[in-house]
A and B are shown apart, each in its own frame.
Chain A
Amino acid sequence: MTPLLSVDAVTFRYGKTLACDRIGFDLHPGEVLGIVGESGSGKTTLLNCLAGRLQPDSGTIRYTRANGEAVDIYRLGEAERRFLARTEWGFVHQTPRDGLRMGVTAGGNVGEPLMAVGNRHYENIRHEAASWLTKVEIDADRIDDRPTTFSGGMQQRLQIARNLVTGPRLVFMDEPTGGLDVSVQARLLDLVRGLVRDLNLSAILVTHDLAVARLLADRLMVMRRGRVVEHGLTDQVLDDPHDAYTQLLVSSVLQT
C-alpha cells in the first residue's frame, strides 16, 4: 500500500539545538500516529514541519495526493502548498482561538472552508455547517452564535468541525485536549475517537498525554531531545516499553 505520508530524515535546528534529528516514518491511509514526548522534545516542531508550516533544514516529506500523485511538499511553491493544505488537510490547534475566527458565527466558521474551496450556495453551506455542528455535539440552534459565547470544550469541538467539514484526507492535531478540564477532555476524546473511526481519518496527533495517545493512536512515536527513541504499535509501546526513557514516561503516568 502506498503510504499517505512518507517522511525521511527530517532535520530542524533552532540555532545549535537539534529540534528534530533525522526523523523518518511512513503513515498509511486510515492510520492515526501519536507523537508523544515532554515539552522541548521537538514534537510540535516536527508536526509543523509535517504540516507544511515550517520548512525543515533537510530531509523530505512526501505526500500522496488524492489524485495519486506523490509530491515533496517543500518542493511545491508556497501557493500550491497552501492550496494543498486547504483542500486535503486539516490542522487542529491546541488553542481554539488560533484555529477559529472569533468574530464570526459558528456557521461562518464551519462554512468558511467550504467557501474557500469554491462553494457558492448559501443554503448548502448553511445546511452542511448545521450538520457538522450536530456531529460535534453542538446544538444546531447555536449556528448564529459567535464562538466567544461558547465554553472551551465547545470551541474546540467547533474547531474540529471547521477542520473536518471539507473531508480532509489528513488531519494534524496539536494537543487537541490540552487546555481543557479532565471531564471535558474525556468527552472530547470520545468524540474525536468516534469521528476518526467513522470517517476512517488519517491523522497525526501530538500530545504529552499518554492516556490521550492510548485512546486515539494506532501507533506511537516517542520523542526525546529531537530524536525518536521508540516507535511501535501503541499498546506495545505503552505496555512493554523497551527504551529507558519511555519506561520512565509510562511509569510516571502510572504513579499519578
Chain B
Amino acid sequence: MNAETQNSARDHTNNPAPDHTNDPAHDPGYNFAYLDEQTKRMIRRGLLKALAIPGYQVPFGSREMPLPYGWGTGGIQVTASVIGADDTLKVIDQGADDTTNAVSIRKFFRRVTGVKTTEKTAEATVIQTRHRIPEAPLREGQILVYQVPIPEPLRWLERRESESRKMHAYAEYGAMHVQLYESIARFGRITTTYDYPVKVADRYLMSPSPTPKFDNPKMHMNPAIQLFGAGREKRLYAVPPYTRVESLAFEDHPFEVQEWDDACALCGDDKSFLDEVVVDDAGTRMFMCSDSDHCRDRRAAGHRGGAEGAAAEALAAMTGGTDDGSNKDRAEDWAKDREAAQ
C-alpha cells in the first residue's frame, strides 16, 4: 500500500497542501485527515490484516466521527487512514459525486487534509463510495473504499455472532444458498439485487455492502485495492488486487447482472447501470447512467442518447443531481430487500 507508507512517513506541517483556489488548505485546527496518528496506525494495521486474509472481517476500534453512523463513518475512517497529501480523492454516492452525502464527505476531507478532489474516476487515487463501483475500469495504485452498513453476510441467517464466527472459521456456507433458494422458490428467480453475497479467494463469504449485483463482476480480479469499512459494526475487510470474487449461484440458476431494455437518454450507453428519473412535472420518465462521471465522459466523446430539447437539459442538470427521488426509491428498495431477508 503505497498510500500507507507515504502517509506515515510524511511530516504534514512541512508539506503544504496543494494550491487549489476552490479548496481551502488543510485546516490547521485538525490533525491531518482528522484522526490522530495512533488511530490511523491502528486502522492501517487492521487493513493490512484484512488484505492478508481476503474477505475476512477484522474488528477494529471504530472512533467517533463528526458524522452520524449511516453516513459512512466506517469508510471515512478507512479513507482517513490511507490518504496522503499527494492523493486525489473522489467521493461518490449512488454513482454520483454531488449528492449531499458525497459533497459533505468531500468537503470534510478537503478541510482536514487539503488534498485535491476530483469527479473523474481516472484522476482519483482514492475513491470512497457508497452503492456503486465506477463504470470506468480501475487500475493498479487506486484504492476503492466502500462504506458498509452491515458487514456480516450471515446476519440474516444467524443472529448469534459466536455462531456466525464459527461458520466463517469452518467455511460452513451451505446455508447461504438457502437465501437464494428462497428467492427462486418465491419469485422463480434470484431477486437479490443489492448486497449479493460473494466468496472471496475461494474462502471467505463476504458482503459487497449495498452495491448492486451489477457491480459484483467488477470486484473480481480488479487491479485496484478494495477496502471496506463498517463504522457502527466496527469491522474492516478487504479484497487485494487481482483476487477472485465469485457471486453465489445455483448450477441451474447462474448469477446474472441486471440488464435494461433502455439506454442512457443522455449518452446512449446501454451497458452501464441506469437510474430511472422523472424529468418534468408531467412525470415523464427516462433512464440515465447512475455513474455521472462516466456519462459526462461519454458525452464529451460525442456520444448522444435519445433525450432532446428540454428533457435533455433537465436530465443534464440532473447528472449527478440525484436527489430526484430515484435514489430514495432505490434506498427504500434496498431497505425492503434487507428486511425481507431478515
User: Which A residues form the contact surface with B (CB < 8 A)?
Assistant: 78-79, 82-83, 86, 101, 103-105, 107-108, 111-113, 115-118, 120-123, 125-126, 143-144
Provide a sorted-by-A list of 5 A–B residue pairs whose CB atoms are within 8 angstroms: A108-B182, A112-B174, A115-B181, A116-B172, A116-B174
Once the chains bind, are A120 and B172 in contact (CB under 8 Å)? no
Q: Using known A-B contacts A121-B252, A123-B252, determine if residue A115 contacts B177 with beta carbons closer than 8 Å.
A: yes
B253's nearest neighbour on chain A, judged by CB, is A122
* Chain B residues, CB < 8 A from A122: 181, 184, 250-253
The reply to whether A115 and B184 contact each other, CB–CB distance below 8 Å, is no
1/0 contact trace for B251-267 toward A, CB 8 Å? 11100000000000000
Q: How far is the CB of A165 from chain B (nearest CB, A)?
A: 13
Complex Cα distance, B172 from A118, in Å, reads 10
User: When the two chains form their complex, are residues B178 and A111 in contact, meaning their CB atoms are under 8 A apart?
Assistant: yes
Given A111-B178, A120-B250, do A144 and B172 touch, yes or no (CB 8 Å)? no
Q: State whether A120 touches B251 (Cβ < 8 A).
A: yes
Q: What is the CB-to-nearest-CB distance from B338 to chain A, in angstroms, rounded to a whole number?
A: 14
The closest CB in chain B to the CB of A116 belongs to B174
Closest to A124 in B: B252
Q: How far is the CA of A230 from the CA of B250 in the complex (A)?
A: 51
Contact with A along B160-176 (1 / 0, CB 8 A): 00000010011010110
Please determine whether A111 and B175 come into contact, CB atoms closer than 8 angstroms. Answer: no
Known: A107-B185, A108-B185, A123-B252. A79 touches B169 (CB 8 A): yes
* Complex alpha-carbon distance, A82 and B185, angstroms: 28
Chain B residues contacting A117 (CB-CB under 8 Å) are 174
Query: CA A121 – CA B186 in complex, angstroms?
Result: 17
In the complex the two chains form, is B170's CB within 8 Å of A125's CB? no
Which residues from B are CB-within-8-Å of A113? 174
Alpha-carbon distance A82/B175, docked complex (angstroms): 14
Residue on B with the closest CB to A146?
A: B182
In contact, B181 and A125 (Cβ under 8 angstroms): yes
* Pair A105/B185 contact, Cβ less than 8 Å: yes
Closest residue on chain B to residue A107 by CB atoms: B185
> Of B185, B186, B251, B253, which is in contact with the most chain A CB atoms at under 10 Å from its CB?
B185
Q: Which residues of B contact A126 (CB under 8 A)?
A: 181, 185
A82 touching B174, Cβ below 8 Å: no
**Residue in B166, B174, B185, B252 whose beta carbon sits within 8 Å of that of A144 in the complex:** B185
Closest-CB distance, B177 to chain A (whole angstroms): 4
Question: A143: nearest residue on chain B (CB-CB)?
Answer: B185
* CB contact between B170 and one of A83, A101, A108, A123 (< 8 Å): that residue: A83
Which residues from chain B contact A125 at a C-beta distance below 8 Å?
A: 181
Q: Please state if B170 and A120 are interface contacts (CB–CB under 8 Å).
A: no
| A86, closest chain B residue (CB) | B172
A115 touches B172 (CB 8 A): no
The answer to whether B186 touches A144, judged by C-beta atoms less than 8 angstroms apart, is: yes
Given A121-B251, A122-B184, A144-B185, also A101-B169 (CB < 8 A)? no
Q: Are B186 and A101 in contact (CB under 8 A)?
A: no
Interface pair A112/B184, CB less than 8 Å apart: no
Given A79-B169, A82-B170, 8 extra CB contacts under 8 A? A83-B170, A105-B182, A105-B185, A105-B186, A112-B175, A115-B174, A120-B251, A122-B253
Chain B nearest CB from A144 CB (Å) reads 5
Name B186's closest neighbour in chain A (CB-CB): A144
Which of B182, B184, B249, B252 has the most chain A CB within a 10 Å cutoff?
A: B182
A35 → B minimal CB distance (Å): 27
Taking CB atoms, residues of chain A closer than 8 Å to B342 are 103
Contacts of A107 in B (CB 8 A): 181, 185
Chain B nearest CB, measured from A53 CB (Å): 13
Within 8 A of A (CB), among B132-170: 157, 166, 169-170
| Bound Cα distance A120, B177 (Å) | 8
Q: Which residue of A lies closest to B180 (CB)?
A: A122
Q: How far is the CA of A122 from the CA of B185 in the complex (A)?
A: 9
Contacts of B169 in A (CB 8 A): 79
Q: Contact at B172–A82, with CB atoms within 8 Å?
A: yes
- Docked CA distance A118–B342 (Å): 24
Contacts known (A105-B185, A108-B182, A108-B185); A118 close to B174, Cβ less than 8 A: yes
Contact of A121 with B250 in the complex, beta carbons under 8 Å: yes
Q: For the complex, give the distance between the alpha carbons of A78 and B174 in Å.
A: 17
With A108-B185, A122-B184 given, is the CB distance from A101 to B172 under 8 Å? no
In the complex formed, the residue of B with least CB distance to A112 is B178
Name the residue on A nearest B182 (C-beta).
A108
A224 to chain B, nearest CB (A): 34
Contact A116 B175 (CB under 8 A): yes
